[in-house]
């Protein structure tokens, strides 16, 4: 009896999982997929800011005043812009996946084109959200 393999590689003669040999992701699809996951992670981390704000609201005026000072600082405004971009990208990529679920846009050329559209639409949505936050009176004191 031979000792078990410990290298982490599959034993010889055993087929690899189909995804290793069937799917060929283009760099656009790969970048789009990774970006979508990263955007989701950023949004999850952004929920901590929302939670901090909600807890400060529940604790009263004094706690809220302290949270307001922190949450209205310039570094956090930059983070809000990044969160708006993450939201916009995750939204656009989610719509792309919904279209894929219908069986459309799955060819390599269509996938590359839709990846570019997702990036462009995300930038447009994020710009609108950031403009709205800065200039609509939402940031007025």
Quote the number of domains for the chain.
1
Residue 17 lies in a domain: no
Inter-helix orientation angle 27-59/108-135, to 10°: 30
Note whether residue 59 is domain-resident.
Answer: no
Sequence-distant (6+) residues with CB within 8 A of 68 are 56
7 lies in some domain: no
Does some domain include residue 13?
Answer: no
Count of Cβ atoms closer than 10 Å to residue 131 Cβ: 11
Question: At 37, which CATH number?
Answer: 1.20.1300.10
Q: Is residue 101 included in any domain, yes or no?
A: yes
Query: What pLDDT is stored for residue 105 in this prediction?
Result: 92
> How distant, in Å, are the alpha carbons of 40, 54, 64 from that of 71?
21, 12, 10
Choice among 13-27, 78-92, 122-136 with the minimum mean pLDDT: 13-27
Residue 16 lies in a domain: no
Containing domain of residue 83, as a range?
26-44+74-135
Q: State residue 29's pLDDT score.
A: 77
Q: What is the pLDDT of residue 54?
A: 97
Query: pLDDT per residue over 13-60, tens digit each?
Result: 666 655 555 556 667 778 888 999 999 999 999 999 999 999 999 999
Would residue 9 count as lying in a domain? no
Write the pLDDT tens digit of every residue in 89-118: 999 999 999 999 999 998 989 999 999 999
pLDDT confidence of residue 10: 56
Residue 93 lies in a domain: yes
């Amino acid at each position: 009896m031979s000792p078990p393999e410990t290298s982490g590689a599959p034993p010889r003669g055993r087929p690899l999982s189909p995804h290793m040999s069937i799917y060929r992701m283009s760099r656009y699809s790969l970048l789009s997929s990774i970006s979508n996951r990263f955007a989701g992670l950023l949004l999850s981390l952004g929920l901590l800011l929302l939670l901090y704000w909600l807890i400060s609201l529940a604790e009263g005026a004094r706690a809220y005043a302290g949270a307001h000072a922190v949450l209205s600082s310039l570094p956090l405004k930059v983070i809000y812009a990044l969160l708006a971009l993450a939201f916009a990208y995750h939204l656009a990529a989610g719509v792309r996946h919904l279209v894929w679920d219908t069986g459309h846009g799955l060819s390599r050329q269509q996938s590359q084109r839709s990846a570019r559209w997702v990036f462009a639409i995300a930038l447009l949505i994020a710009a609108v959200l950031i403009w709205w936050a800065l200039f609509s009176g939402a940031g007025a004191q």
